[in-house]
Amino acid sequence: MRVLVTGGSGYLAGHIIDQLLQRGHSVVTTTRTQAKASGLLRRYAQHGKDVFDVVIVEDIAVEAAFDQAVVSTPPFDAVCHPTSPFYFDVTDIQKELLDPAIMGTIGILQSIKAHAPTVRRVVITSSLASMIHPWQGDWPGNWPGHVYTEADWNPITLDQALADVLCGYRFSKKQAEQAAWNFLATERPNFTLQTICPPLMLGPTASGDLWEGSLANVNESLKRVRDICFGKARAENEIPPNGASFVFTDVRDAAHYHVLALERPEEVSERYFIPTGWFANEDIARIARDHFHDLAADCIPLPGTPGGGWPQDGMYTVDNSHTRNAFPDLVTFYSLETCIVDTVRSLLAVVASASASASASSSSSSPSFSS
């Protein structure tokens, strides 16, 4: 199978690419810059360009952005679109969050329909953010007693999205996914559509070699682990609250779901919700203390540090039985402990790589842990 995977330097996309290649598929991915394209080609240098290649799409929000990317020799069988902005340091919510997510999703579907007639399967990454109600319960996003399923959609409006960055992100995920389903209903393309809604993804990075040796460049998901384990929470003597994220998926399990959706023989169009475990931020600190004694001495919050616990007035629950029934062979997942240990190890590897490079060049600079 030949697959186009957008945003190849991304956190999830890197693992999707790794697993597709391990399973014998060929992959073309997109990235925004030549520098990132060169980094990806170095990472997969053992593969010829017939097995792995990169094309540059500078701005996914512009019209016809993917028209050239979806054309391939041999042609594509499937497309996976995990690309969507996930960061909160923005100055223009419309331009930086909403347009890339919504227009990028519509745009790639239009390009596939117009220029890639051999594509039979499209998988798009959505999020629990598209589902979660932000104003229920004692904590924003925690709705005690509510059972989140694949049927849930958040109620955020455009005006609310433009007034708050977190609402803007959640709205962007909902609108992008709903736009995809509307495209399927109105345009009736030749391909099926599967959307996958992960909760917070944790786990090791496949993209650390593209971070220029700095933990300042980690993605939004991994900032949580970085801030808890690399000094910020220790300095503030407080473990940050979870927000709405008490369910997680290891990024490797999330990638596995995407790959299985791309490979599945059934001609189905469905929405999937993929939580695999529960956590509180205090669990991240505890697990890291148990396994990384050097970090525990100076960086990780001490036992008894306040914050990072469970809500006192109850929790929402989840039911993804529909998804589990659709993927009956996927029954074993990474535990929270393995997930956190592997995450911290991957962040330490970024620091070690930067230190080695600095020593080799006789540089006095050091990697940054700041956000």
Digit-by-digit pLDDT tens for the chain (371 residues) are 999 999 999 999 999 999 999 999 999 999 999 999 999 999 999 999 999 999 999 999 999 999 999 999 999 999 999 988 777 788 899 999 999 999 999 999 999 999 999 999 999 999 999 999 988 766 667 888 999 999 999 999 999 999 999 999 999 999 999 999 999 999 999 999 999 999 999 999 987 666 666 788 888 889 999 999 999 999 999 999 998 999 999 999 999 999 999 999 889 999 999 999 999 999 999 999 999 999 999 999 999 999 999 998 889 999 999 999 999 988 899 999 999 999 999 999 988 876 665 555 544 444 444 43
Do 252 and 283 contact (CB within 8 A), yes or no?
no
**b/e string for 77-110 if b means 16 or more Cβ within 10 A?**
bbbbbbbbbbeeeeeebeebbbbbbbbbbbbbbb
Please tell me the predicted confidence (pLDDT) of residue 367. 42
CB atoms within 10 A of CB 114: 13
Closest by Cα among 108, 44, 114 to 79: 108
- Calculate the CA 158 to chain-centre distance: 23
Tell me the pTM.
Answer: 0.93
Distance CA 361, CA 26 (A): 37
Distance CA 220, CA 199 (A): 13
- Residue 59: is it exposed, middle or buried by C-beta count within 10 angstroms (0-12/13-18/19+)? exposed
Kindly state whether residue 146 falls inside one of the protein's structural domains. Answer: yes
Distance CA 161, CA 163 (A): 5
Helix, coil or strand: residue 244: coil
Kindly state whether residue 365 falls inside one of the protein's structural domains. Answer: no
Q: How many CA atoms lie within 13 A of 35 on its CB side?
A: 4
Kindly state whether residue 270 falls inside one of the protein's structural domains. Answer: yes
- Residue 226: is it exposed, middle or buried by C-beta count within 10 angstroms (0-12/13-18/19+)? buried
Kindly state whether residue 369 falls inside one of the protein's structural domains. Answer: no
Q: Show the tokens assigned to 241.
A: 């609250």
Please tell me the predicted confidence (pLDDT) of residue 211. 65
Report the number of secondary-structure helices (H) and strands (E) in the chain. Answer: 13, 12
Q: Show the tokens assigned to 119.
A: 């594509």
CATH number at residue 194: 3.40.50.720
Domain that holds residue 21: 2-310+317-353
Kindly state whether residue 8 falls inside one of the protein's structural domains. Answer: yes
Helix, coil or strand: residue 318: strand
Kindly state whether residue 201 falls inside one of the protein's structural domains. Answer: yes
What's the number of domains the chain is made of? 1
SS3 helix, strand, coil % of the chain, rounded to 5? 45, 15, 45
Distance CA 215, CA 79 (A): 31
Kindly state whether residue 202 falls inside one of the protein's structural domains. Answer: yes
Kindly state whether residue 182 falls inside one of the protein's structural domains. Answer: yes
